[in-house]
A = this chain, B = another copy of it.
C-alpha cells in the first residue's frame, strides 16, 4: 500500500501509537520555526495551534515521550526539539539514495530540509546514461546499473523514488533486493513491497486540499454575508455552528 504503513501493527514499538508518530514531525516543524525565532518556551496551546492539532492531544502525545512541560511555563523549545528528534531517530545519520533525477529528483537533492533532519543524500541514481557523472547539488549522478552496489557501499536503508510511474515498481524491487527497508515514493503509482518494508507515498496536493477547504469557506462566508441574514436554519446541516454552514459547493467563486 502506498498510503501509509501497513506491514506491521500500528501500535508497536514502545507503545507509541502510529497516529502520534505521524504528528511528531508536525510538532518538530512548528518547534523548529519557534527555535529559529529564538522563542525559548511554548505553551501546549500555542504549540498545538502552530502544529494544527488540538492541545489535549498534543499533551497526550508528549506524555508518550515522557515530556510534560512545566505548569505556567510550558515546554522548553530546544529540549523538545531534541527529544522529538531523538524519538524519530533523527539524531543519527540516515544515508538516503534518490532514484530518478528529473526536476523532482533534482529538487529533492537540493532540498535543505533533508540534511537538517539527519537525512544525508548519499547518492543520486538515474537510468539515463547521459546523466551519469553530471553533478546535481554537488553529487555526481550514477547509473541505475550500479544501484545494488551503491546501496551496499553506502549502507543505505532508505530509498527515495522520483522516477516516472512506469519505472517505479522495478526500481522499488531492486532497492528492496539490495537491502533497502524504507521507501519514500514520489512516483504517482502504488508500489508493492514485501513484509518488513515500509513505503510512504508523498502527495504534494494534500496541503493544497486543506487550503481549498478554507478558500471554499471564505467564498461561502462572503456570499452569505452579501446575500442574507435569514437562511432558514433547517436548510443547514445538523452540525452547523456558524454562519458558514451547509452552503452548496457550487458557490460562484
Contacts and interface: CB of A to CB of B under 8 A. Distances in A.
Contacts of A59: none
Contacts of A63: 248
Contact of A253 (B54, B113, B157, B211): B157
Nearest to A182: B211
Q: Which of A13, A51, A54 has the most CB of B within 10 A?
A: A13
B111 A204 contact: yes
A33 B192 CA distance: 12
Q: Please give the count of copies of this chain that the complex contains.
A: 2
A117 interface: yes
A146 interface: no
A206 B32 CA distance: 13
Nearest to A238: B66
Interface in A24-45: 24-26, 28-30, 33, 36-37
B89 A11 contact: no
Contact of A11 (B24, B26, B245): B245
Interface of A: 1-6, 8-19, 21-22, 24-26, 28-30, 33, 36-37, 49-54, 57, 60, 63-64, 66, 86-92, 94, 96, 102-104, 106-108, 110-114, 116-119, 157-158, 160, 181-184, 188, 190, 196, 198, 200-218, 220-221, 237, 239-253
A163 to B, nearest CB: 13
A242 B10 contact: yes
A196 B222 CA distance: 12
Contact of A15 (B57, B111, B239): B239
Contacts of A190: 33, 36-37
Contact of A214 (B51, B90, B182, B242): B182
